[in-house]
Every structure is written in C-alpha cells, then in structure tokens.
Structure 1
Amino acid sequence: MKTAPEQKDVVIIGGGPAGLSAALMLGRARKQVLLCDGGSPRNSAAEGIHGFVTRDGIPPKEFRRIAHEQLAPYGVDLLLDTRVTAVERLEPGFRVVLAGGRVVEARRVLLATGMIDEPPELPGYRELWGRSIFQCPYCHGWEVRDRPWGLLATGAPALDFALFITGWSRDLVVFTQGAVEVTAEQHQRLERAGVRLETRKIRRLVASTGHGAQGAHLEAVELEDGTRVAREVLFAHPPQRQTEVVQRLGVALDEQGFVRINEHMETSIPGVHAAGDLTTRLQGASMAAGAGAVAGAMMNHALNMENAAAGLWPEG
C-alpha cells in the first residue's frame, strides 16, 4: 500500500539567516515547518558574522548551532545537509522532492537559497576569498580599516563604490584591468578622494605564508608586467547566479538576476515566497534575517486567513 506524502504548512529551502528567521516566526505561530539546509553556506569562509546586533563577530557555524537550538521548542523539522531537488505545483500547494527521494507536500514554499558566487579564474582568488577578499564593507570593513585596500572593478558602478568605501580606508587602489571606461569627470572625482587607478591587467594575487588557523592573507596584487602593488585587502563582487532549484522552478527574475517579490515577499508563483540574498544586491546576515522574519509573518498571515475561512484549527 502506497504511503501518503508527508504534509507540512511550509517547506523552507535554505538554512541561512533568512530561512532560520522565517522558521522561528512560523514555528512560534504554530505552523508545521520543514527546513532543508543544503549544507554549503556562502559565508563558510568568513571568520565571523558582523553587523548583527547581539551576535556581532559570531562564527557562522556557531550562529547556526544556536539557531537550531532555539528552533527546537517550536517543533521545526530540520534536515541538515539535505538538498531539495525539485518543487512541483499541485492544486493546491506544492510537492517538494528531496535528495534521496523523500517527498513532502506543503501549502507554501519559502526560497531562502541565497546566491551562488562565481569567482574569476584569477590565481590566488579562491584561496583568499573570505580572508582577504570581501564583498561587503559593512560586514568586514571595521576589522581591516585604514589598511591598504584594493577594489576589483568589473563595471562603471564600481567607480562610485570606490568613493563610498573610502569611509573605511583612504589608501585605495582601483584595479580596472583595462575593462572599465573611466570618464574625465570620474577621474577627477577619484583623484579628489585620493583614490588611485591601475589599468594594467592582474596576473595573480600574492598571498603571505599562512600563520596557524588564520591561514594565508593577501600581500600584493601582481600585474601582468610583474609589478607588485602592495595590498592587504581586496573588495570584489563576483558574478552570481541562482541555484538550480530556483532556476527550474521558473520564478520571475529582475534585470540583475534576482528573484522578483511583491510586498508580501511572494514571487511570481502564488504560494512561493522568497527572502534573503537571492532577492537583492543588499546582501548580509542581518538584512537576510530581517527579510526572513517578514516572509515568515506574511506566510503565516495567509495561512491563518485560509484556516479561518475553512474552519480549521492548529494542531498541538
């Protein structure tokens, strides 16, 4: 006899700050929640999470451990190191297929998958990611303030970003690799701010010998002619793409490739919500957690209204 699929109010795909925050909101609202954490967090290389009040500097693993512990009283079903392979629409609800073949049916789905970074094929880049190469000055700028910084510019918007990050360090070199056209006005603005431009291509990033648990850190940017520009920090924003499950689901994306959501945190597919880095370039743990809380509240409101209309009551 065939077993009926497991039933949940909400399946959350992604176990970072957005997904965990939504799970907490929904669990406390007496909803049956399954959270699937694929086990490959974007911030795994970071030494600490910053800008998160009461948790400033906490290691990512410890952040997750505490979150899992605090979800326990609310009956949230946590599946760690478990990927979602497909989300299929039903009438009503959704069929969620997990790696290994487990199937769960849900009334709502939350996408909290984050984005996949695609680092450039630049020698030294991958090894220094999260140690000396960062995306967000709010997350890491304080710890490396006033040190020699570099910025890897991949487009014209990076020139304005260069002016912005002088708030953390006035010793800044922008590496354009000859791929960014800089107008005379932009030259003047950068020069006025004390920002130097380097247009030669980068051959590799030179790292120091690792010291204990801290590992190697950036020492210099080596250019194509062998010149070395001493830098201790490099800011860069590599291209990003959506996860496979988001792509296969087919939700609408904006012109920058982020998932479009409305004021209810709902995607172009009714009943599928999204929160966190996959919806915005304003990426960070505290922003993602806030978005997750809003998404959880929005989904709970919709579920409560449906329950009230049908005369249903929460279990337990």
Structure 2
Amino acid sequence: MSYDVVIVGGGPAGLSAALALGRARKRVLLCDSGTRRNAAAERIHNFVTRDGTPPDEFRAIGRQQLATYPRVEVRDLRIESIVGTRGAFQVTSATGTVGALRVLLCTGMIDEPLAIEGFRELWGRSIFQCPYCHGWEVQDRRWGYLARGVQSLHFPLQLRGWTRDVVVLTNGSFDVPEDMRARFSAAGIEVETRPVARLAAREDRLQSIELADGATIACEVLFAHPPQRQVDLVRKLGVALDDDGYVQVDPVSRETSVPGIYAGGDLLSRMQAAVVAAASGVHAAGMLNHELTVELATGG
C-alpha cells in the first residue's frame, strides 16, 4: 500500500493536517500510537468552539470528522522506522511497511519531570506550562513559578494578569539580577532563592512548597517549563534541531533538513498549545498539498 502522505502523530497537529489533506483529495495515512503529549491535561482551552473539551473527546471528534473523507485512513500504530528518499519512503510499524511520497511528523515532545518530590504527580493538575491554557480556572490564587535560569525570568511578570499573588522560585540554582529584582518588586512579585525540597499536595492538588531548610510556602498553582526532548523516531531520523532541541524547518514549506520529511506542531517550538499545533499542522499540510499537486500534475 502506498500513500501520498503518512502523518506520524494523531494529536491536534496531525488531525488538522489529515483533515486539510483529505479535503484536498490526497491519500493519507494517519498513525497514532495512543500516547497523548498532554496526557495529564484535563481540558483543552483557548481553542474556539472547543474550549473546555477533554483531550480524548477532542481526538474522538477529530477522528469522526476524518471518517467523512474516504482517502484518509487512521490507524492506531506506533511507527518504528522511516527510510528512503523524497517520493519513495518506506514507513514501518509492527504490522508491516507502507510506502509514502512524503512524511509529516506531528509527534509532539516528551516532557521530562523535574527531580522534585511531588512534581510528576501534580503535573497537569496543579503544575502547568501555559497560563493562557490554564490560568482562568485558577485565577486569583497563590501562584508560583519555578524558574530554571535567568533567561526565563521574563515569564512570571505576565502571570500578574491572572493573579496578584506570585512568587518566583529559583531552587537555589542561579542569582536573580538586581534590575530584575527591582521589576519584580515593582510588580509585587516575591523572589525565593532557597532550594525546593518537595511539593506537598492534598487530593492531587498542590497545597504548599517545602524548602530544603524546612520552611514552607503556601502555594496552590505552580508554573514550570521542564526540559523536553524529541521522541525516539525523530532523533533516529537525524533531522536538524535548533539549540533548544526543536526540529528546524523551512519557515514557509515546513520541510525539515531531510528532504521529503516535514514537521508540524509542538516539536517545532516552545510555543505549545492545541490551537497553535493545529494551525501548524494545517500550514504544513497546505504546503505539502501544493507541492504534491504540482508534482503529480507535471510529472516531476
């Protein structure tokens, strides 16, 4: 079996790309391993018409709508390898190998929990990355931001839009410059430089932050940006990554450094949200459709 495009990843980016390509009458295989990038998230927000939708429901609706398009096939498969060249890829899963003219990676990223007791358990429940996605539901509470370096200190200032009670925690890992301390002070933001020992919870919700010296800080919501890495398949393909580990693509075509392999969604940038990933998937699909249509019409 051969397809115009094999899409790897069935989240918002992959579903949106499959929809655009299906409506353009391209033969598409969408492969979804079943592991959601936002597995801990309870709701999708900031996605017009889908605000507050549980992620699994979002995926079910997406698949239902794709069923309208006979050239789009969805399979619950983990892709194990991709070999070949532009126009002649071999995409292999546990069930066999299919051919593809092009490949679109929508695999998202893997979040690596910080080595703080309680972090993994509270991720997606009381610990979040994006205030646009989760800030409304927890507005006007006591928020913390776990900063991992000076370069991230611009972030907590925007949190004041959702709450007046913000504390920045450096976990004892770096010094806060005096000019930034002054800005925080003017905004009413506290700075805590002592190391964090553990996150204390009640009924799966953050209650307080315990410091290494035994002190306790009351806190109901924590924002953090833990390290992220690409899934194994992306790393094996050898596509070029930027200094932060995100896949580099042509800004217009969305093609990676490997000819014929494209990318869309969270694996491209720290700017990660369902609606942003969906838009990125449609962008890549549109460019793929244009390229394939011209190629098939002109014979090369």
Range class of TM-score, shorter chain: over 0.9
Contact 1:9 1:107 in 2 (8 A): yes
1:146 and 1:96 map into 2 onto residues whose CA distance is 49
Alignment partner of 1:110 out of 96, 104, 112: 104
Q: SS where residue 138 of structure 1 aligns? A: helix
Which one of 238, 242, 248 corresponds to residue 254 of structure 1? 242
For residue 213 of structure 2, what is the aligned residue in structure 1?
A: 225
SS at match of 2:160: helix
Determine the C-alpha separation between the residues in 2 that align with 1:185 and 1:221: 26
1:109, distance to aligned residue in structure 2 (A): 0.3
Provide the residue aligned with 1:67 in structure 2: 62
Which of residues 284, 300, 309 in structure 1 aligns to 2:289?
300
Provide, for residues 180-210 of structure 1, a one-character-per-residue CA deviation record: whole Å limited to 9, x for no partner.
Answer: 22111111011111110111111100001x2
Check the 8 A contact 1:13/1:37 in 2, yes or no.
yes
Q: Do the aligned partners of 2:41 and 2:125 also contact (CA within 8 Å) in 1?
A: yes
Deviations 1:21-49 (CA, angstroms, capped at 9, x unpaired) = 00000011111111111111111211100
8 Å contact 1:251–1:259 — kept in the other structure? yes
Partner SS state of residue 66, structure 2: helix
Name the counterpart of 1:53. Answer: 48
Alignment of 1:109-258 (within 5 A): 109-208=103-202, 210=203, 216-258=204-246
Q: For structure 2, list consecutive stretches of 5 or more residues without a partner in the other structure.
A: none
With normalisation by structure 1, the TM-score equals 0.92
Structure 2: distance between partners of 1:303 and 1:93: 13
- 2:266 aligned partner: 277
Kindly, what percent of the aligned residue pairs are identical? 55
Give the Cα separation in 2 of the matches to 1:20 and 1:268: 23
Determine the C-alpha separation between the residues in 1 that align with 2:272 and 2:24.
27
After the TM superposition, list the runs of 4 or more consecutive aligned residues in structure 1 that deviate by more than 2 angstroms.
Answer: 90-93
Q: Which residue of 2 aligns with 1:44?
A: 39
2:23 equivalent to 1:28: yes
CA contact (8 A) 2:86 2:102 kept: no
Deviation at 1:101, TM superposition (A): 4.4
Could you say if the C-alpha distance between residues 67 and 91 of structure 1 is closer, same or farther in structure 2, counting changes exceeding 3 Å?
closer
Which residue number corresponds to residue 97 of structure 1?
92
Deviating more after overlay: 18-27 vs 84-93: 84-93
Any unmatched runs of 5+ in structure 1? Answer: 1-5, 211-215, 312-316
What is the number of residues matched between the two proteins?
A: 298
What is the alpha-carbon distance in structure 1 between the residues aligned to residue 103 and residue 272 of structure 2?
21
Q: Deviations over 1:95-146 (max 9, x none)?
A: 1111x14101100100000001111121111110100000011100111111
Residues 86 and 260, structure 2, Cα contact 8 Å, conserved in 1? no
For the residue of structure 2 that corresponds to 1:300, the secondary structure is helix
Structure 2 letter corresponding to 1:296: A
Asked if 2 retains the 8 angstrom alpha-carbon contact of 1:93 and 1:271, the reply is: no
1:278, distance to aligned residue in structure 2 (A): 0.3
State which of 307, 310, 313 in structure 1 corresponds to 2:299: 310
Contact residue 200 and residue 207 of structure 2 kept, 8 A: yes
Deviations 1:259-280 (A, max 9, x none): 1111111111121110000001
Q: Is 1:11–1:106's contact at 8 Å kept on the other side of the alignment?
A: yes
Give the counterpart of 2:83 among 88, 92, 95: 88
SS of 2:47 mapped into structure 1:
coil
The whole-number CA distance in structure 1 between the counterparts of 2:182 and 2:86 is: 60
Amino acid at match of 1:70: Q
CA deviation map 1:59-118 (0-9, x unaligned): 0000000000000011211112x21111102463211111x1410110010000000111
Distance in 2, Cα, partners of 1:32 & 1:166: 48
CA RMSD of aligned residues (A): 1.1
TM-score (norm 2): 0.97
Q: What is the letter of the counterpart of residue 171 of structure 1?
A: D
